[in-house]
Amino acid sequence: MSGRKVIPIVPHGQLATNTGSTALNFRSALPLSLYVHIPWCVQKCPYCDFNSHEARSGIPEKEYVAALISDLESSLPLVWGRRVGSVFFGGGTPSLLSGEAIDTLLTAFRSRLPLLPNAEITLEANPGTVEAEKFAAFRAAGVNRLSLGIQSFNPTHLKALGRIHDDRQARRAIEIAAAHFDNFNLDLMYGLPGQTLEQALSDVDSALAFKPPHLSCYQLTLEPNTAFAAAPPSLPESDCCADMQDAIEARLAACAYTHYETSAFAQPARQCAHNLNYWQFGDYLGIGAGAHSKLTLHDRGAWEVRRQMRWKQPKEYLAQVAAGQPVQEEFSVAATELPFEFMMNALRLNQGFDAALFEMRTSLPLIGIESELRRAEQEGLLERHLQHIAPTDHGRRFLNRLLERFLAERD
């Protein structure tokens, strides 16, 4: 016995398409991404609630790479024959791995999965001289998009955030990244301890000087079970943070960046394909310690959306993979929960979604949530134009309130 929970395929209806067929081309039509979690970092940031662990005595690179490949192999029956449009190395700090390790993994992925020729392959990295020197090796291995965790260019704010790099290292890392990658993202945060509106805009201007194809701008929030939650720093007032958000959006719009998702801004045709797949409620297979998966299964008229979570602690994950049990938790999403799960992702997109996408991703008719849609529309949170649905400016600002409209009648 593997110990893995056995989940029956639950019929949730038929997959809707423009022709009304029943998912004859299901495997080729539904997008699939691969997420790879690298759980180690040099130092845990006080605001971070991700599954990351300080690598005080190094990381077991070869053992972990072998475990990731084994993890993927055990999951192949769930995704067999499906094309993969993107790969994302997240963490933790994936750039702690060597270029050789990334090359080994991507070679293994390509030999086991049909990666599209133009698949987006992203790797998260943190600034620092040692890691920046690896960028050329990552590019040679096949990584074609880099995401740099800059957070701020202000030395005082970087120190307050517990970052291990300074502003000089941040700028140098971007220069090296730009030399090797024509597609890269810079992560910035605002609403930092002691930060003013002018300082927030200064960070954005510093980033724009490098002409990044993509920017992610997040407001710092105090998450449970973090050092900041235990000892909260003094943050700017909510009105000040709202002013920062408005000013950042205006500055980036003036520089021709499209604000396509709650925290994401991109130059034309530079949106993150991997994250777009999440927000459009596509499928993703997650491997590595603590990784999550969302997979849609369709067989003989039965429909199921299945979620999985891998073992979180790296040592336990390695042991469980060796025992043939990489999945700690697995369950089928109830049909009544699918509308909320879909909206929780799709309504993050500023341009919204076509009504047909809801039926394609959930197998449920949109008429089933007509009362919720109408209520959100009446409250000024949502707008509909023919077969297109999108949050209003008010709905984007109060997204949680909008999402609650699709949760209330299903609890």
Structure tokens at 200: 């927030």
Structure tokens at 210: 């490098």
Give me the pLDDT at residue 407, please: 85
Q: What angle do CA 296, 358, 265 make, to 5 degrees?
A: 95
Give me the pLDDT at residue 19, please: 35
Helices (H), 30-81: 61-79
* Residue from 186, 85, 71 nearest 126 by CA: 186
* Residue from 287, 289, 286 nearest 313 by CA: 289
Q: What single-letter DSSP state applies at residue 398?
A: T
Give me the pLDDT at residue 20, please: 37
**Are 72 and 293 contacting, i.e. CB atoms less than 8 angstroms apart?**
no
Cα distances from 317 to residues 74, 140, 240, 289, 408, in angstroms, run 14, 29, 43, 6, 36
Q: What angle do CA 36, 227, 234 make, to 5 degrees?
A: 120
Number of C-beta neighbours around residue 329 at 10 A: 12
Structure tokens at 262: 């709650």
Q: What single-letter DSSP state applies at residue 231?
A: S
pLDDT in tens, the chain (411 residues): 333 333 332 323 333 333 334 443 554 568 999 999 999 999 999 999 999 999 888 999 999 999 999 999 999 999 998 999 999 999 999 999 999 999 999 999 999 999 999 999 999 999 975 677 799 999 999 999 999 999 999 999 999 999 999 999 999 999 999 999 999 999 999 999 999 999 999 999 999 999 999 999 999 999 999 999 999 999 999 999 999 999 999 999 999 999 999 999 999 999 999 999 999 999 999 999 999 999 999 876 678 999 999 999 999 999 999 999 999 999 999 999 999 999 999 999 999 999 999 999 999 999 999 999 999 999 999 999 989 999 999 999 999 999 999 985 544
Structure tokens at 13: 């209806």
* Residue from 90, 139, 104, 127 nearest 278 by CA: 90
Q: Which domains does the chain have, with CATH numbers?
A: 26-277 (3.20.20.70), 334-411 (1.10.10.920)
**Are 282 and 347 contacting, i.e. CB atoms less than 8 angstroms apart?**
no
DSSP one-letter string for 77-145:
HHHTT--EEEEEEEES-GGGS-HHHHHHHHHHHHHHS-EEEEEEEEEEE---HHHHTTHHHHHHHT--E
**Rounded Cα gap, residues 67 and 52, in angstroms:** 17
User: 143: which residues sit within 8 A by CB, 6+ positions away?
Assistant: 89, 102, 106, 121, 122, 123, 181
**Rounded Cα gap, residues 337 and 334, in angstroms:** 5
Q: What single-letter DSSP state applies at residue 381?
A: S
Q: What angle do CA 381, 383, 389 make, to 5 degrees?
A: 115
Cα distances from 251 to residues 180, 201, 244, in angstroms, run 27, 8, 10
Amino acid identity, position 231 = A
**Are 406 and 398 contacting, i.e. CB atoms less than 8 angstroms apart?**
no
The structure's pTM equals: 0.92
Run of H or E including 292:
strand 292-299
**Are 304 and 297 contacting, i.e. CB atoms less than 8 angstroms apart?**
yes
Amino acid identity, position 411 = D
**Are 395 and 381 contacting, i.e. CB atoms less than 8 angstroms apart?**
yes
**Are 187 and 212 contacting, i.e. CB atoms less than 8 angstroms apart?**
no
Phi-psi category of 191—alpha, beta or left, where left has phi over 0 and alpha has psi -120 to 50? left
Helix axes 197-208, 238-254, angle to 10 degrees: 30
